[in-house]
Amino acid sequence: MQDQCVLKLEHWCSFEKAVMESDKFSADRNQPLDMGSSEPPFQDTYKALFDDYVDAESKYEKNDVVIVAECELPMVDLSRLNLGEEEREDCKREIAKASQDWGFFQVVNHGICREILEKMRREQMKVFKRPFCEKINDEFMNFSEGSYRWGTPSATCLKQLSWSEAFHVPLAHISGLGGLTNLSLTMEQFATTVSDLAQKLAEILAEKMGHKSTFFKENCLPNTCYLRMNRYPPCPISSEVFGLMSHTDSDFLTILHQDQIGGLQLVKDGNWIAVKPNQDALIINIGDLFQAWSNGVYKSVQHRVVANKLEERFSTAYFFCPSYDTEIQSCVEPSVYRRFSFREFRQEVQEDVKKFGYKIGLPSFLVQN
Ligand SMILES: O=C(O)CCC(=O)C(=O)O
């Protein structure tokens, strides 16, 4: 895998250049807020963080260069699940191994037709083009309260600000809309096909831990999962902020469809690596709940998105989650994590974010705490 890596010099610039960029940015900030614009008002809302950044010259090191390797994620051809016993078992083994070694892999021949993926992307692009004042209006968009998110309200410095906007939608709510609009119809179609894939992968991962169980069928229902449509606007200060801050996912597993712009990075063996986009592949990553369920065998790894100065980027994530009452318990003993409900996990994460400005997540549930 190392041989496939291409060293990529990340756009981490010298302090002088950063200040120049901030100056350019300040000029933009003097423009009056355009109410018809679709762009979230990052510059006005986070003005204090930019001012602090420009003032805090001495805190920043000169020529801070970050090298990030660009890698192909482990590739799994899922068509082999439909072949003979040997091929099928090899394929399952690869899925489990990638989940153990990387926490991330990509799949081709996944059964989600290109047409659905393209339609989802088109509808997603359309909704993000709506004026910002419409997007923040829950009633207008017909999504549940708080579905539209942008920036990082809890950020106390530029490095904590995510330069992105998203609709984070509970699927229970989309079914309720009854295909009211093209967008909700498309989201429903997308989620239905992707949920079958998520079930299949979860069952394989459970089987490779020695458990042929109905746990996922019983607890992760189409309406307990979430769909997140992400947009990463071009960012004039792309070297100073992330598109999406480093995090792990609070679910069992995530299925991601991204465009060809690139920007997704993950931690592998203690280093950040950049994921090379592949237009035929979907990306799968293990979430916190699978790490707990597998007693730490499958890894929920930190990932983030870097901001892009010139191009906007889109991605769609399907979060495979159980109902809030579902108890998460390690499938082997002795257990590294104490038993917890998904509701408890979510509450703890929300409280951490309020208290510290970031998620602690699984370490709070270690038995030895
Ligand atoms: O856009 C991406 O590539 C990653 C999205 C992501 O990590 C998320 O939505 O939680």
Active site members? 313
Q: What is the pLDDT of residue 143?
A: 79
Handedness of CA 15, 21, 27, 29 (dihedral sign): negative
Contacts of 6-12 with CB under 8 Å at 24 or more apart are 6/69, 6/70, 7/67, 7/69, 7/70, 8/67, 8/68, 8/69, 8/70, 8/274, 9/65, 9/67, 10/65, 10/66, 10/67, 10/68, 10/306, 11/238, 11/239, 11/309, 12/64, 12/65, 12/66, 12/239
- Token output for 86: 């040997």
Cα(301) to centroid(ligand 1), Å: 12
283 lines ligand 1 (CB under 6 A): no
92 lines ligand 1 (CB under 6 A): no
Pocket test for ligand 1, best of 256, 275, 276, 284 (most atoms within 8 A of CB): 256
Which of 303, 261, 276, 321 is closest to 103 using CA atoms?
303
Residues of the chain whose pLDDT is less than 50? Answer: 1-31, 57-58, 60-64
Q: Is 290 exposed, middle or buried (0-12, 13-18, 19+ CB in 10 A)?
A: buried
pTM of the model: 0.89
99 lines ligand 1 (CB under 6 A): no
Q: Is 115 exposed, middle or buried (0-12, 13-18, 19+ CB in 10 A)?
A: exposed
Ligand 1 atom with least separation from CA of 264: 3
**β 327-328/67-71 pair status:** unpaired
Q: What is the pLDDT of residue 32?
A: 53
Cα(303) to centroid(ligand 1), Å: 8
Pocket test for ligand 1, best of 226, 228, 244 (most atoms within 8 A of CB): 244
CATH of domain 34-335: 2.60.120.330
- Token output for 354: 């309020």
Cα(305) to centroid(ligand 1), Å: 7
Q: What is the pLDDT of residue 150?
A: 96
